[in-house]
Chains A and B, each alone.
Chain A
Amino acid sequence: MTAELGLAALWLAAALALLQIAAATLGLRREGALGEQLRGAVRPVAVAQGLLTAIAFAALLAVFSGSDMSVALVAENSHTAKPWLYKVAGAWGNHEGSMLLWVTILGLAGGAVALLERRLHERTLVATLGAQAVIALGFYAFLLFSSNPFARLSPAPPDGLGLNPLLQDPGLAFHPPTLYIGYVGISVAFSFAVGALVTRDVGPAFARAMRLWVLGAWIFLTLGITAGSYWAYYELGWGGWWFWDPVENASLMPWLAATALLHSVTVVATRDGLRAWTIMLAVVAFSMSMLGTFLVRSGILTSVHAFAVDPERGTFILALLALYIGGALALFGARVGTVRAGATFEPLSREGGLVANNLLLSVILGIVLIGTLYPLLAAAMGTQLSVGPPFFNATAGPIALGLVALMGVGPLLRWRRDDKDALVSRTLPALGTTLLGMAGFFALGGVTRPLPLLGLGLALGLAVASIAPLWRRNLRRTPLFTYGMVVAHLGIAVSLFGMAADSVFTEEKLVAAQVGQPVLVGPFSVTLQGIRPEIGDNWSALEGVLRVQRGEGTPFLLRPQQRFFAAPPTTTNETAIRTEADGQLYTVLGRQGADGRWQLRLWWKPWVTCIWLGGALVALGGALSLLGRLRRERQVRVDPHPTERWT
């Protein structure tokens, strides 16, 4: 019964999306009372659509948490013996459920736009909601015709097949929804761009409305990528935290585009420049989030992160992808002529710095895109090849470091035009810190590889430079969004420091350990005390008991495990990690050798935690900015300068 209710809600939501498109299209064409009524209907329809998707998703959560095995999806992806949290999380740990989550977030976001957005011109808002409904309709069709999450199974099996044990982890339970909120937020920003193109309303008012959604999406994408990276780090058991894997790239590409968009939309909002480029970026960012969904859903590229994969449905998503991106580009091509270029500016200005930021981010995005898709292209031409870390590090690495250097300068630039000498004196402290840092790490730290050395130095310099905008300012009157920028840029510095430090200072020890014999790694002495059996809800394990001592400090125990899951039969490595102030000790229990010794993998990773701490800081900076912007927007309710009137 619950499943049928969910399915009915989904069909109704699809019907409402269709209605929303019709009302928006007709309403924008008709003048007079009828047009007004049609346009007036769009908001309530969007809210109702959001509610219906929420009902459908609630129904899915209910059948999963109640282990209703007569629903095919539950039987295939859940198990009666699973802990409750993972029963619920199982609802989106599979293809159909994750797509339903996608449309639910999309529907709720559309409802939120309809309820909350008060600054945009009415017609632009109606066109925006129309565009949002078009995107939603494609996904409803996809769900209803090829991925029905509520299909029944008869006869119902007693227990179910289970969820991939790798996914049985709190990080993974919340990681996909975070990324999806990011993707969907981008699609809302894109809907705004379409709305503004349709009504020829590209200007500061539109930019301010769109910026909030871009910021919101960007915060979630940042969190999602950071969490995904940490998950891969502790779950895969080899100490790596980024693999340039297709699924990682699929989440990185929308983030890069959203980061560029975030910076260019600020130019539109503040100085009314870069209009056409900003619209183009919105199209690109949306295309990247759709491509991301496609790459992950279709399983066309193999990945360590791919869990809910279904090649046959890839074609459907590919068709949707082509339709949406093609449509967006066609609309952009048709209407870009009507978007005035906007204000121009001097190269040496804040705007100039933001153009350079967009340029470098776009090139990095291009590199990640071509590197990710090139194996597919090559395969189509009959060559099997792999593109991996060596390519990305060699190409995107130097450009990213250039971008970091630019980040140190950009926020210190003045709007409109700046003076070269004054700029040099403003950036001198950061430059000095960078050079001193590099000299110090070279002479005292023994770092000789050029890229990590530059990374360490730039990280220190950027840390100084990112705080510099607060220098000699009244800290109480500094707006919250300026603090946001400072914190986010500081986060990049912290993260970069962690990455560079991990790449040069990590110590690795792979040993066949004998019980009682200490192994030295970094400042630690690790002794295997014994192996014990352990048992959990739906797994059993062998646990290594490691006694660890740092120098003369208090000893502590670490317990890495080899875990065995029965449904489906899988072995996972449960790493045991000790976090110290200056890094992490990472331990993994391997197999038993013929001589009875146990394989241990130990890493001492100085400052590695900075990578994710930095990511969290970046997201926090985004949140502060968002709060600051919301506060400012509430003070300025009505746009005092309507730019271009709609016709």
Chain B
Amino acid sequence: MKRLLLLAAVLLSAPVLADSRLPPASFADTQLADPAKEAQAKELMATLRCLVCQGQSIADSDAEMAGDMRALVRRRIQGGERPDAIRRWLVERYGDYVTYDPPFGPATALLWIAPLLMLAAGVLLARQAFRKKPR
């Protein structure tokens, strides 16, 4: 009886398990046969944002949409497309929000230059501190 109840509980809660009852898209959770291509795909997936999650890449997300995007990336990589091209295609479709690697441009110039500026400013400041002759 307890077993039966247990089974019933699990079956009842099954719909919660998946976002929908559809099976996951092929390639969403299946690797490409060619390890080099899979590595390319993985590197790209880690830098694409899952659009419906809270700050996760599509490589680390359980969401259905992330699975679809993983499948898309793997399919296109398998078809011989270059990762840059796939990223560009996704950015055209979803905007810069989709990539964790913000492309250099007017809106992101400050972001990319800031580390160098800070390093230079810090070195100058430190040099000034040393230039004073010790007593």
A contact residues vs B (CB 8 Å cutoff): 236-240, 243, 245-246, 301-304, 306, 344-347, 352, 355-356, 359, 362-363, 366-367, 370-371, 374, 378, 381, 383-391, 395-396, 399, 508-512, 533-535, 540-542, 562, 564, 566, 569-571, 573, 590-591, 593-594, 599, 601
Q: Is the CB of A510 within 8 A of B30?
A: yes
In order of increasing CB-CB distance, the 4 nearest A-B pairs are: A388-B100, A390-B101, A238-B60, A564-B13
Describe A's contact surface by its main secondary structure.
Answer: mixed
Q: Is the CB of A391 within 8 A of B6?
A: no
Q: Is the CB of B29 within 8 A of A601?
A: yes
Residues of A within 8 A of B6 (CB): 533-535, 540
Given A367-B114, A386-B100, A388-B100: 8 more A-B contacts, CB < 8 Å: A238-B61, A378-B107, A386-B97, A387-B111, A388-B47, A399-B115, A590-B24, A591-B23
Residues of A within 8 A of B59 (CB): 238, 240
Given contacts A511-B30, A591-B17, A599-B29, contact A388 B101 (CB under 8 A): yes
Q: Is the CB of A533 within 8 A of B7?
A: yes
Residues of B within 8 A of A362 (CB): 118, 122
Q: Is the CB of A540 within 8 A of B100?
A: no
Q: How far is the CB of A449 from chain B (nearest CB, A)?
A: 11
CA distance A301 to B54 in the complex (A): 9
Of A359, A388, A534, A564, which contacts B16 at CB under 8 A? A564
Of B9, B55, B61, B98, which contacts A535 at CB under 8 A? B9
Q: Is the CB of B122 within 8 A of A346?
A: no
Q: How far is the CB of A407 from chain B (nearest CB, A)?
A: 17
Q: How far is the CB of A55 from chain B (nearest CB, A)?
A: 36
Q: Is the CB of A389 within 8 A of B62?
A: no
Closest chain A residue, CB of each to CB of B13: A564
Q: Is B96 an interface residue (CB 8 A)?
A: yes
CA distance A381 to B62 in the complex (A): 32
Q: Is the CB of B46 within 8 A of A509?
A: no
Q: Is the CB of A540 within 8 A of B60?
A: no
Q: Is the CB of A540 within 8 A of B108?
A: no
CA distance A352 to B129 in the complex (A): 10
Closest chain B residue, CB of each to CB of A389: B100
Q: How far is the CB of A299 from chain B (nearest CB, A)?
A: 10
Given contacts A245-B55, A389-B47, A599-B24, contact A370 B134 (CB under 8 A): no
Given contacts A303-B54, A390-B47, A591-B17, contact A540 B9 (CB under 8 A): yes
Q: How far is the CB of A185 from chain B (nearest CB, A)?
A: 26
Closest chain B residue, CB of each to CB of A592: B23
Q: Is the CB of B100 within 8 A of A363?
A: no
CA distance A569 to B19 in the complex (A): 12
Residues of B within 8 A of A366 (CB): 114-115, 118
Q: Is the CB of B100 within 8 A of A391?
A: yes
Q: Is the CB of A391 within 8 A of B102?
A: yes
Identify which of A363, A396, A566, A569 gathers the most chain B CB atoms within 10 Å of its CB.
Answer: A363
Q: Is the CB of A391 within 8 A of B101?
A: yes
Given contacts A356-B126, A509-B31, contact A367 B115 (CB under 8 A): yes
Q: Is B10 an interface residue (CB 8 A)?
A: yes
Q: Is the CB of A363 within 8 A of B16?
A: no
Closest chain A residue, CB of each to CB of B91: A385
Given contacts A362-B122, A388-B47, A510-B31, contact A304 B55 (CB under 8 A): yes
Q: Is the CB of A345 within 8 A of B60?
A: no
Q: Is the CB of B17 within 8 A of A564?
A: yes
CA distance A347 to B16 in the complex (A): 63
CA distance A352 to B49 in the complex (A): 42
Q: Is the CB of A374 within 8 A of B111?
A: yes
Q: Can you sample 29 A-B contacts with CB below 8 Å?
A: A237-B62, A238-B59, A240-B59, A240-B60, A243-B60, A302-B55, A344-B135, A346-B130, A362-B118, A363-B118, A370-B115, A378-B108, A383-B96, A386-B97, A386-B102, A387-B100, A387-B102, A388-B100, A388-B101, A391-B111, A396-B115, A512-B30, A533-B6, A533-B7, A564-B17, A571-B16, A573-B62, A591-B18, A593-B23
CA distance A571 to B46 in the complex (A): 23
Of A346, A359, A396, A591, which contacts B134 at CB under 8 A? A346
CA distance A302 to B50 in the complex (A): 12
Q: Is the CB of A508 within 8 A of B31?
A: yes
List residues of B (56-94) whose CB comes within 8 Å of A's CBs.
56-57, 59-62
Q: Is the CB of B56 within 8 A of A304?
A: yes
CA distance A370 to B132 in the complex (A): 32
Q: How far is the CB of B72 from chain A (nearest CB, A)?
A: 16
CA distance A485 to B111 in the complex (A): 35
CA distance A559 to B46 in the complex (A): 27
Q: How far is the CB of B50 from chain A (nearest CB, A)?
A: 10
Residues of A within 8 A of B49 (CB): 386, 388
CA distance A591 to B14 in the complex (A): 10
Residues of B within 8 A of A541 (CB): 10
Residues of A within 8 A of B115 (CB): 363, 366-367, 370, 395-396, 399
CA distance A533 to B12 in the complex (A): 12
Residues of B within 8 A of A534 (CB): 6
Residues of A within 8 A of B47 (CB): 388-390
Given contacts A245-B55, A366-B118, A371-B111, contact A384 B30 (CB under 8 A): no
Given contacts A391-B102, A570-B16, A591-B17, contact A355 B129 (CB under 8 A): yes
CA distance A511 to B42 in the complex (A): 15
Closest chain B residue, CB of each to CB of A392: B100
Q: Is B1 an interface residue (CB 8 A)?
A: no
CA distance A386 to B13 in the complex (A): 35
CA distance A314 to B98 in the complex (A): 26
CA distance A236 to B119 in the complex (A): 35
B18-53 vs A, CB cutoff 8 Å, 1 = contact: the mask equals 100001100001110000000000100011010001
Identify which of B49, B114, B135 gathers the most chain A CB atoms within 10 Å of its CB.
Answer: B114
Given contacts A367-B114, A508-B42, contact A385 B108 (CB under 8 A): yes
Given contacts A347-B130, A352-B130, A367-B115, contact A385 B96 (CB under 8 A): yes
Residues of A within 8 A of B122 (CB): 359, 362-363
Residues of A within 8 A of B18 (CB): 591
Closest chain A residue, CB of each to CB of B100: A388
CA distance A541 to B11 in the complex (A): 10
Q: How far is the CB of A191 from chain B (nearest CB, A)?
A: 27
List residues of B (95-135) whose CB comes within 8 Å of A's CBs.
95-102, 107-108, 110-112, 114-115, 118-119, 122-123, 125-126, 129-130, 132-135
